[in-house]
Amino acid sequence: MKVIVAYASLTGNTEEMAEAIAAGAREAGAEVVVRDAYDAEASELDQYDGIAVGAYTWGDGELPDEFIDFYEALSTLDLTGRKAVVFGSGDTSYPIFCASVDIIEEKLKELGVELVAPGIKVEFDPSKDEVNQCKTAGRLVAGAVPAVS
């Protein structure tokens, strides 16, 4: 099982979420790569079984500028059957909280992924509970079966 975690983070909050998701996926036995979306090639995403994509929100509920190339390049892909989760940090004092998470989720759904968990939206840096939520999402995106509660 191969998992990629690609993210955009300016001040490190979304990066912390990315690292927690990667840790969860590794715990589940996946081979994991973590990439800053700025350096990542969207075209390589279809080489992975599990895909986690995250970005903070900028402007007036917008994707970060440095994430746009990656986002636009996604459109050429067919990601049918891939497990995916979307995540990002934001600030509830802005009118559209964590809009990037919704924008990326919509795109990935169009490309055919199976979303293994609802998009993870965090205010500023993730709390301990939110780090655990990210780890759980990492395990799920790596193909682990959800615990029955």
Ligand X SMILES: Cc1cc2nc3c(=O)[nH]c(=O)nc-3n(C[C@H](O)[C@H](O)[C@H](O)COP(=O)(O)O)c2cc1C
22, 45, 57, 138: which one binds ligand X (CB under 6 A) = 57
Quick one: residue 26, left, alpha or beta (phi over 0 = left, psi -120 to 50 = alpha)?
A: alpha
Q: Indicate the residue among 28 and 131 with the shorter CB distance to ligand X.
A: 131
In the chain, the amino acid numbered 37 is: A
For residue 53, give both structure tokens: 């994509």
Contact in structure between 74 and 40 (CB atoms under 8 Å) = no
Q: Which of residues 77-136 bind ligand X (CB under 6 A)?
A: 89-91, 94, 96-99, 124
- Cβ proximity to ligand X: between 16 and 30 the closer is 16
Is position 12 an interface residue for ligand X (rule: CB under 6 A)?
A: yes
Residues that bind ligand X (rule: CB under 6 A) add up to a total of 22
Q: What's the closest the beta carbon of residue 41 comes to ligand X, in angstroms?
A: 21
Expressed in percent and rounded to 5, the helix, strand and coil fractions of the chain are: 40, 25, 40
